[in-house]
Amino acid sequence: MHVALIKYTPDPELTIAVAARLCYSSIEAPRIMEKMSEGQIESLLKQLLASGHLSPFEHANFTFAIGGISRACSHQLVRHRLASFSQQSQRYVSFKKLPYVVPPTVEQKPALKEKFEEAVEAAHRVYADLLAAGIPAEDARFVLPNAAGTNLVMTMNARELMHVCSLRLCPKAQWEILQLFSAIKKEVEKVAPRIAARLQPKCMQLGYCDERESCGIMPTRAEMNL
């Protein structure tokens, strides 16, 4: 898996703070930007997060290049609709070599890993035979497994990123998408550490787990008698 932050709103935390301050200011955004100190940005972002006033976070966008994830993972990822995705097409790209992802549980069992790889490689051979017989790639791809690797570009604003991380950074999330958003958080930390600090499982914000069973970070509502 490879994750790189390739584009983002310049000074994302300043942009958010200026947008929020504008709502209650008689002066225009450029003048607010000139006057705002690091301490004011820090204080205002904390206030916004504490009050749940999250719309200003929509003004900061982050674009990630994501490579080497499985189609099983990308199918989960694109369910988050407040984002933009451009994904490598199995319709227009023919795969002479098929990159694929082996789950860690399979990696730990050599005999099963061998069978897993044989199955993926057999599917790829059938795929190659279909292409050689003149079957269009858009039809030949039907035989490819969920393990098939894919690359994509994803753009998401800070508000949606916080929401998605509240779900996908939970230890109970599926391992690959948990790994993906852990890597995304590390990329955001490089340019917006205050925002990155808020990329965390929702139980860390709620103070309890709202699932039936807790992963152990926080007790459930029932366990807290809420």
The torsion region of residue 172 among left (phi > 0), alpha (psi -120 to 50) and beta comes to alpha
Q: In this structure, what token pair is assigned to residue 7? A: 């584009």
Question: Counting beta carbons within 10 angstroms of the beta carbon of residue 183, is it exposed (0 to 12), middle (13 to 18) or buried (19 or more)?
Answer: middle
- By C-alpha distance, which of 66, 70, 57, 55 is closest to 155? 66
Cα–Cα distance between 48 and 54 in angstroms, integer? 6
Catalytic residue ranges: 168
